[in-house]
Amino acid sequence: MMYTIYAEGTPVREFKKQVIEEAKVQEIEIDCVLELDKMRLRNKRGVSPGRVYFDDEWINTSREMYVEPLKGPEKKYKAQRQVYVIRWRPSQCSVDPIEEIILDNDDPKHSASPNG
């Protein structure tokens, strides 16, 4: 775990660069390589993943944040929602790794309402 301080109004992309540099300087042991375009900055909200902050936004809140490393470049956009699913395989009495699914908020197939 690493703690860092940011100034209100800091662009998210600049803050992510700062996190990468500070992790190198502090020699933080992490099990992945932090890359600018392969990480998300999220609001920390208990045990649930919080809001994603995008590179074109500014940090204007005094909240705890964390970095989520990604396997590839960010695929999520503001008009989308992500859901994490775990597939249960009863015949094997096992579960698959957690998988992220990205849904379009404007797509009626992904609506949570009974009419959509």
Q: What average pLDDT does the chain have?
A: 82
What is the rounded average pLDDT of the residues 46-71?
83
The DSSP secondary structure of the chain, one letter per residue, reads: -------TTEEHHHHHHHHHHHHHHTT---SS---GGGEEEEEEETTEEEEEEPTTSEE-S---EEEEE-SSS----TTEEEEEE--EETTTTEEPPPEEEEEETT-GGG--STT-
Residue 112 reports pLDDT greater than 60: no
Residue 107 reports pLDDT greater than 60: yes
For residues 84 and 98, the answer to whether their CB atoms sit within 8 Å is: yes
pLDDT on residue 34 = 84
pLDDT on residue 113 = 54
Q: What is the pTM of this model?
A: 0.68
pLDDT on residue 5 = 76
Residue 28 reports pLDDT greater than 90: no
Instruction: Indicate the domain borders of the chain.
Output: 1-73, 75-111
- What dotted CATH number matches 1-73? 3.10.20
Least confident of 11-15, 59-63, 68-72, 104-108: 104-108
CA gap 57, 104 in Å, rounded? 20
